[in-house]
Chain A
């Protein structure tokens, strides 16, 4: 167990480290003077020289990388140009908003998608289910920024019941959450359906039915217990993806999270801020995946972490 944990944490740290290194090399691979890219767009020649000295851009690439790593381990990712403070602090101050949005969205998704998927599995290949099937396909086919703008127009402009943008109060959370959840509900419910159909047709379920168990017990206590792991994996993956992927929705609603921050950082070419954002979100996503993996034995006693575990 502890060896498994140690191995997984090492792996996760390595993934995050390689990602941030990737960003480091991308910025230096890009055409143009990295000093210009790493300083503010209105930098003077003297400032450019200072940046060159600070990042050691006159040194060979490998030395630069070494300096970058040393800074990385002290938590120093440079100073954000637009905020004039530590890039890491700026990102961390925005993080609670993104996490709030992701958590409410995943809760809404779970509450709707799991029962919907189960219903679709139990009514598999009927006309009703075909309708639900088409609706979920439609829901995963809408661009999320578009459905966001549509919801915004309907519920904040035409029928002004909800605030339009920003984080004014808890009701400001409703529209972004729904927008994010639409796509996730479609994806998760289809996944639940696929997995549950297989379980509902499994021989063990026929035996359980022969013993006279109710449909509810069959579905939830038997089939769902076996679908729990794939469903949890999917939810965990979606949650991790949301932490990075709500960028677009945050921009639509002016949500003060990491996503709208990174878009602004990209517009202003605020590279320390971008590096910090990538570091924080990658670390968070990897952490979520790790927690999901650790939850497996709780759901399925057959799973023993670390013993001949593959994939």
Chain B
């Protein structure tokens, strides 16, 4: 009986003590830098994922959604403002539904972006890890190439390649991948350089493993996660680069006009029909903001787990 009353009187403090055996209050904890960093990383990831999915889902479902065809012209309904005549984002100068054009064009833009990022990620990780782990001439060759590409008139070279080899999806994908691999390679190289000096690598070497086997089976798994975060951020840049190329008329022409092309088409009408430029641009911006925020939050989290800076 007496023990019961004792516990009930001090139950509040006891419960608190059991939870948190220190004088640090919950309020102080919630104000701590680590908590705030974690919270902001979470917020970024959530906002980012929401924004990105807001664009990606409709684009992925473009063929299923009840929309007029992207190339279906209706000359009686030209340059309709948004929310009129059953066109959510209005129509363009040929009476094509803008939303449908944006979503179908987005399929091309996103495909190019994802493919380019996968290719540049593979090239970057292979080249970067080889340079970091093997050192010697491999390292100096890769590093020279990285340095040289920094100082090249990149966009001009890309435009030249597209002009020479045609603006097909494989060419544009390749061009964007070439533009982006240095970023992945540089990061992977620096991560591998750190990882290479760790004891487990020496242990693996003592066990008689081949250098390539050590790199692939032991070192790469430790760096791949942080390298892929950068690859995710590159997706945002790939989408931007593709839109810039297609704005300049060097984007994929088939099967549908991509975002940059829609904007450059609408530019002539910008004074009278603001939505033709504003809407596709907003779609790009929302997607890229989403991917960037998500990647940034993810990077914050991964970085804290690993306890070092990137």
Contacts and interface: CB of A to CB of B under 8 A. Distances in A.
Interface of A: 12, 15, 18-19, 22-23, 26-27, 29-31, 37, 125-126, 130, 133-134, 137-138, 140-147, 149-150, 152-153, 157, 194, 198, 237, 240-241, 243-245, 247-248, 251, 262-263, 266-267, 269, 274, 277-278, 281-282, 285-286, 289, 311
The list of the 6 closest CB pairs from A to B, nearest first, reads: A146-B281, A244-B153, A30-B164, A141-B288, A281-B153, A141-B289
Interface in B223-278: 236, 240, 243-244, 247-250, 260, 263-264, 267, 270-271, 274, 277-278
A89 B182 CA distance: 33
A19 B263 contact: no
A149 B270 contact: yes
Contact of B159 (A30, A142, A143, A263): A263
B154 A244 contact: yes
A248 B248 contact: yes
B148 interface: yes
B157 to A, nearest CB: 7
Contacts of B154: 241, 244-245
Given A19-B157, A149-B263, 18 more contacts: A30-B164, A125-B33, A137-B289, A141-B240, A141-B288, A143-B244, A143-B260, A152-B270, A153-B274, A194-B309, A237-B150, A247-B156, A248-B247, A248-B248, A251-B247, A263-B249, A277-B156, A311-B143
Nearest to A138: B289
Nearest to A267: B249
B13 to A, nearest CB: 32
A142 B159 CA distance: 21
B260 A145 contact: yes
26 contacts: A15-B152, A19-B152, A19-B153, A26-B161, A30-B164, A130-B40, A137-B289, A138-B285, A143-B284, A144-B244, A145-B260, A146-B263, A149-B281, A150-B277, A194-B309, A198-B309, A244-B152, A247-B155, A267-B249, A277-B156, A282-B151, A285-B151, A285-B152, A289-B150, A289-B151, A311-B143
A12, A141, A263, A286 pick with most chain B CB within 10 angstroms: A141
Which among B33, B43, B47, B292 has the greatest number of chain A C-beta atoms within 10 A? B292
Q: Is the interface of B mostly helix, strand, loop or mixed?
A: helix
B247 A157 contact: no
B36 interface: yes
A133 B161 CA distance: 36
Interface in B162-184: 163-165
Interface residues of B, number: 51
Given A23-B160, A146-B281, A244-B152, A31 B165 contact: yes
Contacts of B157: 19, 22-23, 278
B281 A134 contact: no
A248 to B, nearest CB: 5
Contact of A143 (B164, B247, B274): B247
B151 A141 contact: no
A27 to B, nearest CB: 7
